[in-house]
Structure formats: structure tokens, C-alpha cells
């Protein structure tokens, strides 16, 4: 077990957590206000036109993309997470949804190139519209968060890409709700597609 290097007053913790939670909420609210939602206009059609969806990302972004895959499954899509043992090969007519804050993550770029070579489309989520990932993509959604390596707190007081990862979750969840509304899906219908093996 790690031993704290400095003593702290437990009485301060509730106020500190409340302040940091406020920071996270405020930063995401500012990002949502700056998000170019016009860039999301073609996304529902890209998703609906694909006969299967594939999701990829590294680290925490990869975890968010797994959550996004689950939500698309709830909408009735065939959804696969890249790297899982049961994920089939991607083919023409599929869509890869790839997330990388920097747009330079080697594994994500490799997967993206493989998908394009197979004839699939590529929907990218990144902070950098000039990144290698954005240049490959069929369509790019730019989440206006600072790069993971930024240490000057410009644009965020959070650590190492946290704002991008949070915004990625919020944006993919918002897309899920938008798609459900466009289709007239009801909560009860969505729930019938939820796994009963948890």
C-alpha cells in the first residue's frame, strides 16, 4: 500500500472534491459551447449507412470507445471493439470510429490505415484537425481540448488529456441520444437489446 508523503487534513477533502468536480463540469460546459456541432451533421448518416461499426482508441480513450460501442449496440447496430478476440475483420461498407486526442497514437493510426485499405470509412475524434488521424479520416469531429502533453494548464486545469476523454464520452453519449430521437426509439425498446449476462 502506498504511504502518503505528506500529512493532510481529512476535513478538507469534501470541499476539495466539490471544487474539483466543479472544475470538471465547468471545463466540459465551456468545451460543449465551443464544439462545432455542424461537424456532427453527417455523423448519423455515416453510422446508419454502415453495416457494421468498429471502435478503437488507446488507454482511457479506448475505454470510452468501448462505452460508445455498447450504446450503438443498444441502437441495434452491429458493433465491434478492435482488439477483442471475437472481432471479425473489417470490410468494405463498415465504419471505423477512432479516437486519439493528439491524432498521432501509433496503434490507432495503424488500425485506421488497415480499415481504409479494406474499403471501410473512418470517423475520427481528435483535438487536432491537422493531425495524421484527421488527414486520413472520411470525416473528423474536433473536440476543442488541449493536447495530452500540455503542462501549462492552457485550456484545462486537469491532468493529461482528461478533458478530451470526458468530452469524448459526453459527445458519443449525445450522439446516441440524438440517433435514438431521430429514430423514435423508446427507453423500453433500447433496454431489450441490453445484455442479460452481466
Secondary structure element (H or E) that encloses residue 172, with its range: helix 162-183
| Residue 165 among the catalytic residues | yes
Separation of alpha carbons 186 and 172, rounded Å: 18
Q: How many residues does the chain have?
A: 198
Separation of alpha carbons 172 and 188, rounded Å: 21
Catalytic residue among 27, 165, 185, 189: 165
Q: Sign of the CA dihedral 84, 86, 89, 95?
A: negative
Which residues are catalytic, by number?
Answer: 165
Amino acid at each position: 500500500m502506498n504511504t502518503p508523503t505528506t500529512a493532510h487534513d481529512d476535513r478538507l477533502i469534501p470541499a476539495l472534491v466539490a471544487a474539483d468536480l466543479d472544475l470538471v463540469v465547468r471545463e466540459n460546459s465551456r468545451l460543449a459551447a465551443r464544439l462545432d456541432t455542424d461537424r456532427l451533421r453527417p455523423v448519423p448518416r455515416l453510422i446508419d449507412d454502415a453495416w457494421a461499426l468498429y471502435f478503437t482508441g488507446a488507454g482511457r480513450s479506448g475505454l470510452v470507445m468501448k462505452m460508445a460501442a455498447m450504446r450503438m449496440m443498444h441502437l441495434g447496430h452491429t458493433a465491434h471493439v478492435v482488439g477483442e478476440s471475437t472481432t471479425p475483420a473489417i470490410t468494405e461498407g463498415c465504419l471505423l470510429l477512432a479516437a486519439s486526442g493528439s491524432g498521432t497514437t501509433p496503434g490507432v493510426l495503424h488500425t485506421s490505415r488497415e480499415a481504409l485499405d479494406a474499403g471501410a470509412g473512418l470517423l475520427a475524434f481528435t483535438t487536432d484537425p491537422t493531425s495524421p488521424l484527421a488527414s486520413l479520416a472520411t470525416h473528423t469531429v474536433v473536440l476543442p481540448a488541449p493536447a495530452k502533453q500540455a503542462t501549462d494548464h492552457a485550456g484545462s486545469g486537469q491532468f493529461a488529456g482528461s478533458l478530451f476523454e470526458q468530452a469524448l464520452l459526453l459527445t458519443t453519449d449525445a450522439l446516441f441520444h440524438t440517433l435514438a430521437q431521430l429514430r423514435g426509439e423508446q427507453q423500453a425498446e433500447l433496454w431489450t437489446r441490453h445484455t442479460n449476462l452481466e
